[in-house]
């Protein structure tokens, strides 16, 4: 099967993987302004069961999704080098892709990643605003302003409406990836977590500093799981620093 995707630009491919319950529109809205530069081909796939990508019964676990993503990356890049960005569950998959294709992956960026060692998840609390939106918005964002509500309704809700919930439940029962013994990715890595992330927390992300030998780590205050929406300037600066390491000039 082929993953549906949207892409912009030309040059070194950057695969940007979304999290659960949405489609490519959320990361496209968040990361496109930060990655829109010459020499980068930004590719935003819909993962199985999201957007326009189906999830047949044969796709039963994250291991199956990982196999499809690796084949998709080979197809998109022609076997050449590429960058990986993953948000939430997309980060869980991106980390495994980089471990399995270290010679091809030029850099890895994990934003609020879902990780097998998730722990010490804080209680949800509102940082700014409040009293607007539905439960989905209020449970996701900690910056609850009209601007963030507008982003939620434009870029999150449409993808959620297309989710294959049966497939999501089926895959979710086997969301942890099988350890194949591959060493952790040793290339240029950036890990960004929200201090107020009540979905996956930040403690497991901090552990990645000891796992990835070339990792930059940032735990961002006053940001939750929706950090790409809530703190774009901070995220943009961190991605700029990552790109200078992953794609050096000249």
Determine the pLDDT at residue 48: 97
Average pLDDT across each block of 10 residues of the chain; the chain has 250 residues. List them in order: 94 97 98 95 97 95 97 96 98 97 97 95 97 97 98 97 95 93 96 98 97 98 98 98 87
Q: What is the pLDDT of residue 250?
A: 46
d(CA 104, CA 178): 21
Domain that holds residue 104: 5-246
Provide the 3-class DSSP secondary structure of residue 16: strand
Quick one: pLDDT at residue 1? Answer: 80
CATH number at residue 82: 3.40.50.1820
**Helix boundaries (H) for the chain:** 25-35, 62-77, 89-100, 135-140, 146-151, 157-162, 165-172, 203-211, 227-230, 232-246
How many structural domains comprise the chain?
1
Give pLDDT, residue 164.
95
User: What confidence score (pLDDT) does residue 38 get?
Assistant: 87
Nearest to 225 by CA among 242, 200, 191: 200
Give the pLDDT confidence score for residue 249 in this predicted structure: 74
CB distance 108 to 187 below 8 Å: yes
- What is the end-to-end Cα distance of the chain in Å, rounded? 38
């Amino acid at each position: 099967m082929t993953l549906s995707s949207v892409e912009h630009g030309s040059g070194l491919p950057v695969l940007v993987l979304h999290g659960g319950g949405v489609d490519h529109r959320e990361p496209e809205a968040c990361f496109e302004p930060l990655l829109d530069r010459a020499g980068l081909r930004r590719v935003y796939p819909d993962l199985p069961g999201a957007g326009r990508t189906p999830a047949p019964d044969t796709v039963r676990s994250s291991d199956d999704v990982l196999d499809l993503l690796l084949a998709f990356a080979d197809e998109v890049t022609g076997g050449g080098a590429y960058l990986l960005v993953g948000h939430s569950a997309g980060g869980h998959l991106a980390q495994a892709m980089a471990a399995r294709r270290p010679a091809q992956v030029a850099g890895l960026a994990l934003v609020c990643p879902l990780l097998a060692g998730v722990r010490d998840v804080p209680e949800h609390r509102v940082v700014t605003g409040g009293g607007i939106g539905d439960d989905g918005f209020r449970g996701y964002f900690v910056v609850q302003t009209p601007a963030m509500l507008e982003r939620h309704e434009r870029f999150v809700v449409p993808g959620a409406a297309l989710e294959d919930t049966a497939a999501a439940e089926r895959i979710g029962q086997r969301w942890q990836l099988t350890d194949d013994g591959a060493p952790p990715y040793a290339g240029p890595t950036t890990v960004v977590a929200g201090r107020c992330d009540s979905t996956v927390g930040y403690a497991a992300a901090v552990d990645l500093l000891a796992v990835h030998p070339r990792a930059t780590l940032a735990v961002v205050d006053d940001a939750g799981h929706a950090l790409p929406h809530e703190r774009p300037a901070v995220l943009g600066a961190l991605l700029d620093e990552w790109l200078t390491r992953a794609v050096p000039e000249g």
